[in-house]
Amino acid sequence: MRIATRGSVLARWQAERVAQLLGDDAELVIVETTGDRSPLPIHAMGGTGVFVREVQTAVLDGRADIAVHSAKDLPSTTTPGLTIGAVPERADVRDALVGRALADIPEGGRVATGAVRRRVQLAHVRPDLQFFELRGNIGTRLDKAADFDAIVVAYAALDRLNRTDAAAEILDFVPQVGQGALAIECREDDAFTHERLARIDNPELHEALTTERAFLARVAEHDAADGARGCDLPCGAHRIGSELTMFLGTPDGAVTQRATITRVGSESATEFGSRAAAEFLTRWDATLASKGTS
């Protein structure tokens, strides 16, 4: 099985984990992505997709059979010619502070994170904090922790690399869509590979990811209608069972909104995510209007 993946330690771990689940010998096809090459903040490069496009291309042009991604890196819409064949497992979805716990960060403390969503949720709780960009693989990020009062990373990354000892505090934030989940793509017309991936798919996790991605797609639509990009509006979502918890915030963290909506009847995972997002966005627009914020 030829597995396309980024070359970071964490990405290789994920690819090798999928090979283990499949019970196959695997050949890793290492791909460098736009996100790996550019020093710019992720949101400045166009947000989601910058760590997956070249990996997806390796599958589309036949250099690889499957692509293994951190599901949170995927755009909200599926790339033409590809399909998510399996979502086999999901780790802890929470964020972690490395360096100091939130209460121990001094007034005006320096916190580094590459995610607008994390920054906004922290700013809402601690508006005094100063925020700085954080880029690089998990090892590089941990090495930079000493330069700040704290950094924020995905707890799943620490767990997969046996570095949970570095976590000073686990944060009760709404996670990024797909955070902690592995997503495996294959060519849409590759029935053989799709059948093999189906054997390791977790239907409940796959459905949860589908719902979260439908939420993100609806938010991106709404944001684009206002002349912005989906990645510019800090948001998160996490489905557990029949409930979807969602988050939106203004870039400065001054206004945030969090709510949980329950699935209705027999609506599909996509229908649930889209409906929940529409209801949530209606409340969000009303909240902004009441505060005189556009």
Catalytic residue at 73? yes
> What's the CA gap between 71 and 82, in Å, rounded?
14
Which of 6, 141, 196, 263 does the annotation list as catalytic? 141
Catalytic residue at 229? no
Q: Is 240 helix (H, G, I), strand (E, B) or coil?
A: strand
To 10 degrees, what angle do helices 269-290 and 203-225 make?
40
Catalytic residue at 160? no
CA 150 to chain centre: 21
Which of 6, 65, 73, 160 does the annotation list as catalytic? 73
Which of 72, 119, 218, 275 does the annotation list as catalytic? 72
Which of 6, 186, 190, 231 does the annotation list as catalytic? 231
Q: Is 265 exposed, middle or buried (0-12, 13-18, 19+ CB in 10 A)?
A: exposed
> What's the CA gap between 47 and 218, in Å, rounded?
16
Residue where the block lists tokens 């000493």 = 146
Cα radius of gyration rounded to whole Å, the chain: 19
Catalytic residue at 72? yes
Which of 90, 94, 100, 117 does the annotation list as catalytic? 117
Catalytic residue at 199? no
> What's the CA gap between 14 and 120, in Å, rounded?
28
Which is nearest to 36 in space by CA: 136, 163, 143?
Answer: 136
Catalytic residue at 172? no
Count CB-CB contacts under 10 A for residue 291.
11
Q: Is 122 exposed, middle or buried (0-12, 13-18, 19+ CB in 10 A)?
A: buried
Q: Do the Cβ atoms of 182 and 36 come closer than 8 Å?
A: no
> What's the CA gap between 265 and 254, in Å, rounded?
36
Which of 17, 126, 135, 258 does the annotation list as catalytic? 135
Q: Is 101 helix (H, G, I), strand (E, B) or coil?
A: coil
Which of 90, 100, 118, 263 does the annotation list as catalytic? 118
Residues involved in catalysis? 72-73, 117-118, 135, 141, 231
